[in-house]
Structure 1
Amino acid sequence: MTHDSIGSFLDKAAPALAKAPGALVFAEDQVEVDTTLAHALKLGFGTVALFADPDIVVAEAIAPRIQRIDWDIHRDEAVQTAVNKVIAAAPAAWLHYCYNAEYLFFPFCETRSVADLLAFHAEERRDAMLTYVIDLYAGDLDRFPNAVSRAEALLDRSGYYALGRPDPANHNHPKERQLDFFGGLRWRFEEHVPWTRRRIDRIGLFRAKPDLALREDHTFSVEEYNTYACPWHNNLTAAICSFRTAKALRTNPGSRFDIHSFRWQNSVPFQWHSQQLMDLGLMEPGQWF
């Protein structure tokens, strides 16, 4: 179903979002839009909504299974505005948001649904889940000039680190249970990435509530949502495997001609399986066995 406004979408979708987790996909271009939507549907999201310009094409087999909203994705705060409108209209709904060519993985997602995941997470009294955005990239940029190839995707097996997140309201002392995470292409090619865009952490799964708001830096207005674990033990985390940074570095004129390969000694093929991400320490099963 296609909606000409986000209001029309929310009028029809809010009851469904209250019953099953929803995925909000923001298409910046045509690259891998169909596979991103298909992946979200496979994970078991009850509502999959595509926010995109009208000229973005969706495969006929997928189009009837999604909600489509005409949206100017390139305007300032486009994603932030849309997510916050959905939060306000669907309090208590579990939501995931991502861009095209991004794929959510969580522990054991091959045999368990996203509803199973979030039911367990809620039982642990958690309303948000940390997701690491793990860069994917093609190994051969001559064959894949936009750095996107699902069949030959690579990722970094090491090079990730975290720093304490300073609290300006408390003399810049580190915030409790909050860290800024770095790594991947944004770390290796940091000269091409503004400092404010180098973090790879995102609260990619969360439960809407009144007065909650997504901020420009992908954190939330409720500080507990930005924590990586509860005070008493480690919690589940997930990963968003993303071609977005590689695609941007190969598209932007300032970096395109300086980067001839993303390969390095720690590049490994991506197996498209949650076990690889857990083995590499890129997500945490917590107490969920």
Structure 2
Amino acid sequence: MRFRSLAQFIEKGKAAVATGPTALIFVEDLVEVESTIRYHQLIGFRDIVVFAPVELELPAGMENTVYRVDYAVIEVSDVQKAVNAVIDIAEGAWLYYCYNAEYLFFPFCETRSVNELLTFHGEERRDAMLTYVVDLYADDLERHPKAVSLDHAWMDKSGYYAQARPDPANKNYPKERQLDFFGGLRWRYEEHVPRHRRKIDRIALFRSRRDLALRADHTFNDEEYNTYACPWHNSLTAAIVSFRTAKALKSNAGSTFDIPTFKWHNSVPFDWSSQQLLDLGLMEPGQWF
């Protein structure tokens, strides 16, 4: 089903998000859109809503399996606006959002579905899940000038770190169970990345409710939603492997000529498994054994 605007989707598309879990995929360019949709269907999202420019052409067989919204994704605020609009019509449903050329991984996702993940998470009285955005990049930028290759994807095995998140309302003391996470290409090439866009944490999975609002920094107006764990034990976290930063660095004239390759001594091939991300400490199984 296709909607010609965000307003039309909000008015007539409630069925797409009424039950959940629903994936909201925001298309910034035409790179790996089909693989992003197909992947999130395979891991168990009940419905997929694709916010994309009108220029996008999907195979008929795929177009008929998604809800499509004609929507230009140019600024971060465009995503924020759309997610908040969907929140208002999806009370109680689990939502997830990502961009094209991004892929969600969670512990044991090869044998367990996203619905099982969120059912367990909800039983632990959690309404949101922290995800780490882990940068992927093509191994050879001459063969893959857009820095995207599913078959030859590499990642950083180290160089990730966290800092306390200060609370301006409380003398900048650290917020409870909240951290700002950094690493990957945004850390290695920070001179090309604005300071407010260097974090790699994103609250990408969450249960919707009417008074909830997504902020520009990928956090919510409910501080409990922004925590990485519950007060009594470690909670599940997930990872989004993403070519987005690599694409941006190689498409930007201010950075592309400074980067002949993204590979360095801590680069490793990405094997597209949850176990690799678990072994590197880039997601947490919590009590979900």
TM-score, L = length of structure 2: 0.98
Q: What are the residue-to-residue correspondences of 1:146-157 with 2, within 5 Å?
A: 146-157=146-157
Secondary structure of the 1:196 match is: helix
1:97–1:205 Cα contact (<8 Å) kept: yes
Q: What are the residue-to-residue correspondences of 1:108-257 with 2, within 5 Å?
A: 108-257=108-257
Secondary structure of the 1:77 match is: helix
The residue type equivalent to 2:149 in the other structure is S
Q: Deviations over 1:26-83 (max 9, x none)?
A: 0000000000000111111111011011001223331111010001211561100000
2:48 equivalent to 1:29: no
Residue equivalent to 1:99: 99
Partners of 2:21 and 2:13 in 1: CA distance: 11
> Gaps (5+ residues) in structure 2?
none
2:71 equivalent to 1:71: yes
2:285 equivalent to 1:280: no
The residue type equivalent to 1:199 in the other structure is K
Partners of 2:61 and 2:189 in 1: CA distance: 38
Secondary structure of the 1:25 match is: strand
> Gaps (5+ residues) in structure 1?
none
The residue type equivalent to 2:158 in the other structure is S
2:76–2:216 Cα contact (<8 Å) kept: no
Partners of 2:20 and 2:217 in 1: CA distance: 27
1:26–1:99 Cα contact (<8 Å) kept: yes
Residue equivalent to 1:263: 263
Partners of 1:177 and 1:126 in 2: CA distance: 13
1:147–1:243 Cα contact (<8 Å) kept: yes
Aligned residues: 289
Following TM superposition, by how much is the alpha carbon of 1:3 offset from its aligned partner in structure 2, in angstroms?
Answer: 0.5
Partners of 1:61 and 1:101 in 2: CA distance: 20
1:129–1:204 Cα contact (<8 Å) kept: yes
Partners of 2:59 and 2:260 in 1: CA distance: 32
